[in-house]
Amino acid sequence: MTTYEEIFEHNRQWVRSRTENDPHFFEKLAKDQQPDYLYIGCSDSRVPANEIMGLEPGEVFVHRNVANLVNNVDMNVMSVINYAVRHLHVKHIIVCGHYNCGGVKAAMTPQDMGLLNPWLRNIRDVYRQHAGELDALTSEHDRYDRLVELNVLEQCTNVIKTAAVQRSYNAHRFPEVHGWVFDLRNGLLKDLELNFKAKLKEIQKIYDLTAIPSQYSEEGDH
């Protein structure tokens, strides 16, 4: 186990390795960021966003929370989406869950989780919406994995509901939203192949926020 003190030595080694390969690395890193990707993932320590995507610092804007939720009353994730879309002009938004997710597992457990209850309710709502499909799976392991996938797809839908995404795509044809799952068992990413354009069209039958009346600010996102 790495000690607290060793972290700073590791940091110095990392700096040396970066500057040996590129003496101007940190000079370039200090400039304004221009990432093409917004990654919304789980806080799980086993899923490092940059590494699993093979991207360098500055190439992906990252938001993480327990079970990669996009809750419309969570000002943290809403602010991240708004900033990434309207100011960084990201081209892709990725919601990435992972198999063996502790948050999803907790949501499948029928017991009072105290402070976690309101957060986990979002995942339990996903289960409720897909109870027929999930209950038909005889293997608890398969049910667990499928709920991870369905939760990712539901959070993708929540991203698409936002005004920032709808208005940007309407004007510029980006960003597109994608749903992925990271498999801890083999290190591979699985694309859930969300049909973004079809989902956007479906969502906008009810959640169309592309036209904003003059009395409202453009920053409104719910």
Catalytic residue at 42?
A: yes
Query: Under a CB-based contact definition with an 8 Å cutoff, are residues 101 and 44 in contact?
Result: yes
Choice among 10, 22, 36, 44 that is catalytic: 44
Q: Calculate the alpha carbon distances from 61 to 89, 91, 112, 115 in Å.
A: 11, 11, 34, 28
Residue 147 CA to residue 123 CA, distance in Å, equals 8
Q: What DSSP letter does each residue of 16-82 carry, written as one string?
A: HHHHHH-TTHHHHHTSPP--SEEEEEE--TT--HHHHHT--TTSEEEEEETT----TT-HHHHHHHH
Choice among 42, 96, 178, 221 that is catalytic: 42
Choice among 101, 156, 167, 178 that is catalytic: 101
Catalytic residue at 112?
A: no
- Give the DSSP letter of residue 207: H
Choice among 98, 145, 178, 221 that is catalytic: 98
Catalytic residue at 98?
A: yes
Choice among 10, 46, 128, 141 that is catalytic: 46
CA 113 to mean position of chain CA atoms: 23
Which residues, in sequence order, are bridge partners of residue 189?
182
Catalytic residue at 44?
A: yes
Catalytic residue at 178?
A: no
Residue 39 CA to residue 53 CA, distance in Å, equals 10
The set of catalytic residues is 42, 44, 46, 98, 101
